[in-house]
Amino acid sequence: MKIGVFDSGLGGLTVVQAMTQIIKGAKIFYIADTQHAPYGEKTQEQILQYAFNITEYFLNTYEIDALIIACNTATSAAVKALRETYPELIIIGTEPGIKPAMEQTKTGKVGVLATPATLQGDKYQQLANSLAMQKDVTLFEQACPGLVEQIEQGKIDHPQTQEMLEAWLHPMRENDVDTVVLGCTHYPLVADMIEKIMQRELNLIHTGEAIAKRLLVLGEEKGHKNEGELTLAIYSTDSIATHLVSGIIGKEVEVEAIVL
């Protein structure tokens, strides 16, 4: 199975890392579209265009069998159109894990950290509204403009990053939030700092493992045998913090520059 995965930068590698624990006998091609990062502050039309350009590149260059949109913002903007255009392709998007968060919370208070574009998107709004009708849970939604850039620049343990998170998380801490949805694939990279600021035992919900398991099910339905070697190739459309790439994946990996 040939799998194309993309995000605006490093964040989607948290999904790839989860995939490497579950998927075997496959080739993963990852594109960090750093030239256009961050997606969370682009228009829906721009993000849609980036998603189609990358998908066409994957299909023309690698003849992929599956596409993973390892970005909540790009999923919201493009997953519907991509599925309509490429019905033969396995396409899996990334959504904030509000449902598991609602199931796991003990206090009934759930925090959602996401990019401005994700929180404003129809997909998120519909999901949040439908789940809120099913269960009596209070959502504390917080847009995090600038956090993706901090992570992309390697400022994960930086005082400025801590200051930003402290301001966003303060209302959640004061209101007894016990479960936080990491609604962007970059945010697991600052999970330790989030736990430290919240000063309590916390459920942190991110979706990498769920995506990997879903891919395995859909792949096996199409005849994928989950055995043998897994290979990974990583590309970026502009500069990227290569030391962080290796840190996320857990081994030394090369990053090749490409032009789309």
Q: Which residues have a catalytic role annotated? A: 71, 184
CA distances from 154 to 134, 148, 149, 190, 241 (A): 40, 10, 9, 11, 7
Contact 148, 184 (CB under 8 A): yes
Who contacts 43 (Cβ-Cβ below 8 Å, separation ≥6)? none
How many helices and strands in the chain, by DSSP H and E?
Answer: 11, 10
List of E strands, the chain? 2-7, 26-32, 66-69, 90-92, 109-114, 138-143, 179-183, 203-205, 230-236, 255-257
Contact 253, 246 (CB under 8 A): yes
